[in-house]
Chains A and B, each alone.
Chain A
């Protein structure tokens, strides 16, 4: 079936550096993608989204890039802070608000 996967299960970065979290998706028909942040014991928090008619979208300290040619998403976090430590999931809309979540990447920010 269709799936969304991540390349790196764990990413460690120094505080202040930029982080890049990657995600591959397999459904070329998907037209909406979201990045979520999940802290331990909590529900996912929306970070940023992007539609397939765009290839880049910026938020506050975060940027999502979409490469439809290779079906790849990335989340870039600028000047990573300790509060950014969490698990990050990409999610792909699998039809009528049904989202398929990737396996997740744990981001560890080193002081």
Chain B
């Protein structure tokens, strides 16, 4: 099946710094990618929809200036957590739709962010 890769898988940073997480579709082109956030023992919450070549669409309550999303190519979307604080510590997961596909999402392995 299609493979989605995230990097880094784990990152620890100091409060106030910015962290970039990459999401790549390795063997297919993804016109649309999604970013999710998951707190411990909770479900996945959709943060934003990332479309190649256009601005991301954010879900209600998600600060677009805090979570910058860039989808510069058909195989790469990035999420930058700006001026991270401890409450931003979470598991961030991306997913991608195979161009032309009818619905199946392919998920990355997730990136665990810990802000000290």
Which residues of A are interface residues toward B (Cβ below 8 A)?
A: 32, 34, 36, 41-46, 49, 89, 93, 97-104
Contacts and interface: CB of A to CB of B under 8 A. Distances in A.
A46 B105 contact: yes
Interface in B8-38: 32, 34
Nearest to A97: B97
A97 B93 contact: no
A103 B104 contact: no
B50 to A, nearest CB: 12
Interface residues of B, dominant DSSP:
strand
B103 interface: yes
Contacts, number: 52
Interface of B: 1, 4, 6, 32, 34, 42-46, 49, 91, 93, 95, 97, 103-110, 112
A101 B34 CA distance: 13
A42 to B, nearest CB: 6
Contact of A104 (B43, B108, B110): B43
Given A42-B109, A98-B34, A102-B43, 10 more contacts: A41-B110, A43-B108, A46-B1, A46-B105, A46-B106, A46-B107, A97-B105, A101-B44, A101-B45, A103-B42
Nearest to B111: A43
Nearest to A6: B43
B105 A34 contact: yes
Contacts of B97: 97
24 contacts: A41-B91, A42-B109, A43-B4, A43-B93, A43-B107, A43-B109, A44-B44, A44-B93, A44-B107, A46-B1, A46-B104, A46-B107, A49-B103, A49-B104, A89-B43, A97-B34, A97-B97, A97-B103, A97-B105, A99-B34, A99-B46, A99-B105, A101-B43, A101-B44
